[in-house]
């Protein structure tokens, strides 16, 4: 689990604030194929994948709450769904630690789908009196595709933003140790033989 | 150590879920003037200038993306427009004959063809925020109570009616679009001005509205224009919308001639690309 340092918290706050403002002032006014990209599930997914379930869940809750406040939506809806998204992404990292460049793409698409479906379900539970139209499903699908394309750049951007404040990734540290010599079991074996 | 970590993680998760549910329940249960709504409005008041600044700063990039999108869309529209041009050419001839008739008739019945909105206190504003989710068809404009905007004022763009003001701040106002499921507009359609209520056909479809509660024998045809009904002398309450604001054009009629007749219309205004809008701060022209 990653300890929350003040530096890390400040970066989370800046990331969330900037992400929501860019989403509302820019991305949401930019229709692509009749739909909009949605940065919030991608940001939360990236933080969950990089920092774990606790940080992912807390960040999801905060981003969701801020989104609800800024958009004058029912408070608690986005925070509840994004909390699940962040926690889920974090648990994936903790339980499976998936490797591969395309992991953020798949997790980003899954996060978007979970957010879209979860948000819609909560809206219906809250009593939105309207049938689900094909247009809505089409938009959800289009957002899913756009977000899947954006997932990797967003993940890289978030990683870069948090880079200085995060403890070093154990996988990377291990890899560097092997390549720089000294700590590798192979090289140690060679030294013993000598 | 591991157990402690897991316990802590689960406790935080449970706490946040509980917080979300409490917020949701409290917000949903309270009135529009409740504490949480107040906090939300206060925060929006603070963030509006930031959003407005960001919106202005990012407009050139938005326009650039829009240009690419428009170019691709325009290619697809070329064929449709050619057919439309051919059809319009033949209509022009017919219309010229009709226009001469119309000029004579309009003099006879003194028909006020113009909308006459000059006395309605028009305030032009720019859209600074558009709801990212299809569940809330709202936009925010940079005109608020400082400019005389009040809740309920109708909002139009250069094409037609787009919605009404549902929340007001000092320098901004929230506009709920006519494609939102909470909005219903009394309207008239066809040559005989048949009455009906216009509302969205389904959530998340900005291109299809439905006119309900029309008379089963109403003479409405595909292509007819639908406009706001305004207030009639026999009405108990005054309508929020002045008479004659264009809304859309009839595209198809379902269950025609029955009590459940539904008239589908396509709004004249493109709700996904709103930029400048006008708020009617004196809709009754008093």
Chain B: give the shortest CA distance to residue A193, in Å.
Answer: 39
At residue A73, the 3 state secondary structure works out as: coil
The answer to whether the Cβ–Cβ distance between B43 and A83 falls below 8 Å is no
Chain segment A123-138, per-residue pLDDT in tens: 888 877 666 677 778 8
Q: What is the mean pLDDT of residues B129-137?
A: 75
CA distance A157 to chain B (A): 19
pLDDT tens digit sequence for A131-174: 667 777 888 888 899 999 999 999 999 999 888 777 655 555 55
Q: How far apart are CA A108 and CA B276, in angstroms?
A: 34
The per-residue pLDDT of chain A, averaged, comes to: 82
Question: How much is the pTM?
Answer: 0.65
Q: Of the candidates B55, B133, B202, which has its C-beta nearest A133's C-beta? A: B202
Min Cα distance B23 → chain A (Å) is: 5
Residue B83 pLDDT more than 60? yes
Picking from B12, B279, B260, the residue whose alpha carbon sits closest to that of residue B164 is B279
- State yes or no: ipTM above 0.85: no
Could you tell me which chain A residue has the CA closest to the CA of B136?
A73
Strands (E) across chain B are located at: 122-130, 138-141, 154-156, 161-168, 173-177, 185-189, 194-200, 209-212, 225-228, 246-254, 262-267, 276-280
* Buried/exposed B246-272: b ≥16 CB within 10 Å, e otherwise: bbbbbeebeeeeeeebbbbbebbbebb
B17 touches chain A (CB under 8 A): yes
């Amino acid at each position: 689990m990653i300890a929350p340092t003040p530096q890390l918290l400040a970066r989370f706050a800046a990331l969330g604030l900037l992400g929501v403002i860019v989403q509302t002032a820019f991305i949401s006014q930019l229709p692509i194929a009749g739909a909009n990209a949605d940065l919030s599930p991608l940001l939360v997914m990236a933080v969950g994948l990089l920092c774990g379930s606790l940080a992912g869940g807390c960040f999801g809750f905060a981003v969701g709450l801020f989104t609800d406040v800024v958009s004058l939506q029912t408070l608690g809806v986005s925070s509840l769904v994004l909390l699940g998204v962040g926690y889920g992404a974090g648990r994936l990292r903790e339980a499976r630690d998936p490797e591969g460049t395309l992991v953020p793409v798949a997790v980003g698409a899954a996060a978007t789908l979970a957010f879209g479906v979860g948000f819609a379900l909560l809206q219906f539970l809250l009593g939105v009196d309207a049938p689900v139209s094909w247009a809505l499903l089409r938009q959800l699908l289009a957002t899913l595709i756009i977000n899947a394309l954006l997932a990797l750049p967003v993940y890289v951007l978030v990683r870069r933003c948090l880079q200085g404040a995060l403890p070093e990734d154990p996988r990377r540290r291990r890899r560097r140790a092997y390549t720089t010599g000294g700590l590798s079991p192979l090289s140690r074996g060679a030294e013993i033989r000598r | 150590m591991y157990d402690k970590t897991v316990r802590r993680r689960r406790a935080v998760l449970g706490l946040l879920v509980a917080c979300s549910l409490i917020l949701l329940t409290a917000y949903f249960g309270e009135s529009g003037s409740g504490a949480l709504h107040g906090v939300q409005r206060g925060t929006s008041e603070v963030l509006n200038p930031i959003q407005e600044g960001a919106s202005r700063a990012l407009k050139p990039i938005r326009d650039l993306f829009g240009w690419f999108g428009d170019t691709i869309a325009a290619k697809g529209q070329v064929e449709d427009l050619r057919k439309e041009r051919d059809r319009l050419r033949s209509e022009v001839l017919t219309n010229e004959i009709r226009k001469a008739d119309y000029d004579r008739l309009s003099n006879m019945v003194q028909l006020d063809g113009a909308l006459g909105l000059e006395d309605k206190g028009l305030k032009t504003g720019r859209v600074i925020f558009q709801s990212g989710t299809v569940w809330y068809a709202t936009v925010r404009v940079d005109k608020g109570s400082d400019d005389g905007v009040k809740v309920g004022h109708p909002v139009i763009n250069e094409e037609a009616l787009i919605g009404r003001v549902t929340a007001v701040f000092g320098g901004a106002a929230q506009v709920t679009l006519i494609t939102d499921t909470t909005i219903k507009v009394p309207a008239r359609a066809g040559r005989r001005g048949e009455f009906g209520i216009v509302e969205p056909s389904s959530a998340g479809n900005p291109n299809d509205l439905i006119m309900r509660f029309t008379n089963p024998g109403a003479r409405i045809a595909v292509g007819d224009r639908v406009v706001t009904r305004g207030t009639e002398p026999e009405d108990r309450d005054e309508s929020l919308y002045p008479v004659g604001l264009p809304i859309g054009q009839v595209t198809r009629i379902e269950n025609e001639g029955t009590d459940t007749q539904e008239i589908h219309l396509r709004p004249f205004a493109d709700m996904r690309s709103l930029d400048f809008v006008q708020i009617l701060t004196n809709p009754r022209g008093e």
